[in-house]
Amino acid sequence: MTNEFTLDPAATSGAPGGLTAEAFASLGGGHIAYVRPIDSEDAARLFPQARLQPGLKLFTLHAADGTPLMLTDSREAAIASAMQNELVMVSVH
């Protein structure tokens, strides 16, 4: 069973790099996303409502502006969520 948590993008704030929140929000036009591996300690900071065991290897789905959208224990589930939400996946290196 895949565990998933979502985060309301309105709950995040701050715009690094000197961009305004409005300019940052427009990156990718709300249609681009990427998946990033993350450990449970870092994930707990992005998703404070999630009760996570230390040492887990997880995946987050992010909007183009870096906003975390989803936390899951499966890369495939993150990609499937992006597809269901009609987001274009990009590779980030």
The pLDDT tens digits for 21-54 are 666 556 556 788 999 999 999 999 999 998 899 9
Is the pLDDT assigned to residue 12 strictly greater than 50?
A: no
Distance between terminal CA atoms of the chain? 29
Q: Quick check: 62 and 81 in contact, CB under 8 A?
A: no
Is the pLDDT assigned to residue 11 strictly greater than 60?
A: no
Is the pLDDT assigned to residue 67 strictly greater than 60?
A: yes
What is the average pLDDT score of the chain? Answer: 79
- How does residue 91 score in pLDDT terms, banded at 50, 70 and 90? confident
> What pLDDT score was predicted for residue 65?
83
- Which residue would you say has higher pLDDT here, 16 or 22? 22
- pTM assigned to the model: 0.67
